[in-house]
Chains A and B, each alone.
Chain A
């Protein structure tokens, strides 16, 4: 009960302080619109909204979660308020789960903003919503833990922002969303399979357009593996670098 009180209050404070702030909410709306428009305008052939949906959803989660978490944790570390949390009598695992839960929820909500827009523009029948929900949650968890991994690897807020892009932009182009995996140069393909977004985007493609190329259970397992690895490595780093 005592642990739950601490957990829920950390989560609620972060939601209030960071995730429910107007700039973030507007970002959740503007970002998917910008991506969708970009593909509409740049594509030489007519593009179906439904074809764009998996990509826009995945990127909304990735950019939303990694940006927020990496920056907020680095900021709290810099102002030393994070020390308060480290000194609280709750386990490090639970503390970090509390800190990341807000970002995960933010990512999940972000993912469904493009769905709402898409539902206005096109018909969304024949979609496996359960699979969508599962993949959105797992992509949000993995992306958030990637944000955590970034936060524990840097010490300044600007480093968190630049280091995030080191992971995000390669993922953007190599995850198979906009350039199919089969069309990528052979030597780049192994790199694609080493990126978590590849698996998340593929599940979304399967759920929305039934055109994924990787087995869904393998994709789910891969995302789970990435999540466990990123979280465990981040905790290891917190223990090593922040508790001196």
Chain B
């Protein structure tokens, strides 16, 4: 069942098109990821979906109901965690959660119970009475996610959930996301970390300059760009003159020397490994390892978007430190 359906969403600011006709949907219980560089339109898309930005053209539906011009109708069913932890500095963790619950009309007893439960679930019980301003960046982000879940929304929007926080907290947050997903929470996540997208998301959309350039499951995306099948063999012995003999015996395959002790076999179709192992053994070249080489998601992203990933991640890290938004 589709929770969110976006059709041709476009957002223009003073003649500049930030999001250009994107269409996608999010199924109940899945994690959809938007992966793209700074300024690609990820946050603007979330803002349009959640009512923080007016939609220039296009349509958006929540549970089949159009809310393009009336986001207030849909906001009760959404949990939103922005790229900056924007809770109230002067309130403590528990008060912040209770206040957020009250914004969604939750009664006193219900919101207090839920706040306790979330603080426990997110490992923040000990920090419950500490002012938000005294929290570390990672704790702030965890509490912000808890605040997004206080009213048990149909869908949780996570905008760059691990940007600007240390590795240990980032791991904790990723585990929390996996845990939320296993409990059936539907999540829309934006990130610039390719490993995060690969590990957490069931489906991914690459967004560049306001356009979705590719969308699919991780396997689909990888398969699409996999032009040939490659197997790497780590061998013992002398590999000189191997190419010629290989070509004679396997004319449909291509052998490349990788380094002094490994070769790769290339083919347009999948192939069994045994004949090659046998061939190497006959040539007195013991096989130590055979590894099927697949393109990484990073290779796919770079190939599809033409964007150097390292550059994109460096930019985002700088942004995270500055506390900016895309």
The listed residue (A79, A81, A89, A244) touching B105 by CB distance below 8 A is A89
Closest residue of chain B to A17 (Cβ to Cβ) is B90
Interface of A is mostly: helix
Of residues 29 through 47 on chain B, the ones whose CB sits less than 8 Å from some CB of chain A are: 47
Rounded to whole angstroms, the CA-CA distance of A90 and B103 in the bound complex is 8
Say whether A1 faces chain B, with CB atoms less than 8 Å apart.
yes
Are A9 and B53 in contact, with the CB atoms below 8 A?
no
Are B100 and A244 in contact, with the CB atoms below 8 A?
no
- Of B79-87, B122-130, B234-242, B309-317, the one with at least 4 CB within 8 A of chain A: B79-87
The listed residue (B54, B78, B82, B105) touching A6 by CB distance below 8 A is B105
Are A89 and B76 in contact, with the CB atoms below 8 A?
yes
Say whether B320 faces chain A, with CB atoms less than 8 Å apart.
no
Say whether A88 faces chain B, with CB atoms less than 8 Å apart.
yes
Say whether A87 faces chain B, with CB atoms less than 8 Å apart.
yes
Say whether A216 faces chain B, with CB atoms less than 8 Å apart.
no
How far in angstroms is the closest Cβ of chain B from A146?
25
Say whether A51 faces chain B, with CB atoms less than 8 Å apart.
no
Are B86 and A81 in contact, with the CB atoms below 8 A?
yes
Say whether B88 faces chain A, with CB atoms less than 8 Å apart.
yes
Say whether B75 faces chain A, with CB atoms less than 8 Å apart.
yes
Say whether A113 faces chain B, with CB atoms less than 8 Å apart.
no
B55-93: CB near A (< 8 Å → 1, else 0) gives: 000000000000000001101101010101011111100
How far in angstroms is the closest Cβ of chain B from A85?
7
How far in angstroms is the closest Cβ of chain B from A56?
31
Say whether B271 faces chain A, with CB atoms less than 8 Å apart.
no
Say whether A80 faces chain B, with CB atoms less than 8 Å apart.
yes
How far in angstroms is the closest Cβ of chain A from B193?
22
How far in angstroms is the closest Cβ of chain A from B60?
15
Which residues of A lie under 8 Å from residue B251 when comparing CB positions?
none
The listed residue (A13, A80, A90) touching B99 by CB distance below 8 A is A13
Are A17 and B88 in contact, with the CB atoms below 8 A?
yes
Which residues of B lie under 8 Å from residue A42 when comparing CB positions?
none
A68-104: CB near B (< 8 Å → 1, else 0) gives: 0000000000011101111111110000000000000
Rounded to whole angstroms, the CA-CA distance of A84 and B105 in the bound complex is 14
Closest residue of chain A to B147 (Cβ to Cβ) is A84
Say whether A182 faces chain B, with CB atoms less than 8 Å apart.
no
The listed residue (A10, A80, A84, A91) touching B72 by CB distance below 8 A is A91
Are A87 and B80 in contact, with the CB atoms below 8 A?
yes
Rounded to whole angstroms, the CA-CA distance of A10 and B101 in the bound complex is 11
Closest residue of chain A to B73 (Cβ to Cβ) is A89
Say whether B275 faces chain A, with CB atoms less than 8 Å apart.
no
**Contacts beyond the supplied A80-B84, A91-B72: 11 A-B pairs with Cβ under 8 Å:** A1-B105, A5-B102, A5-B105, A6-B103, A6-B105, A17-B90, A86-B51, A87-B50, A87-B75, A89-B75, A243-B54
The 9 closest A-B pairs by CB, nearest first: A2-B105, A9-B102, A88-B103, A80-B86, A89-B76, A89-B75, A244-B53, A5-B105, A81-B86
Give the interface of B toward A (CB within 8 A).
13, 47, 50-54, 72-73, 75-76, 78, 80, 82, 84, 86-91, 99-100, 102-107, 147
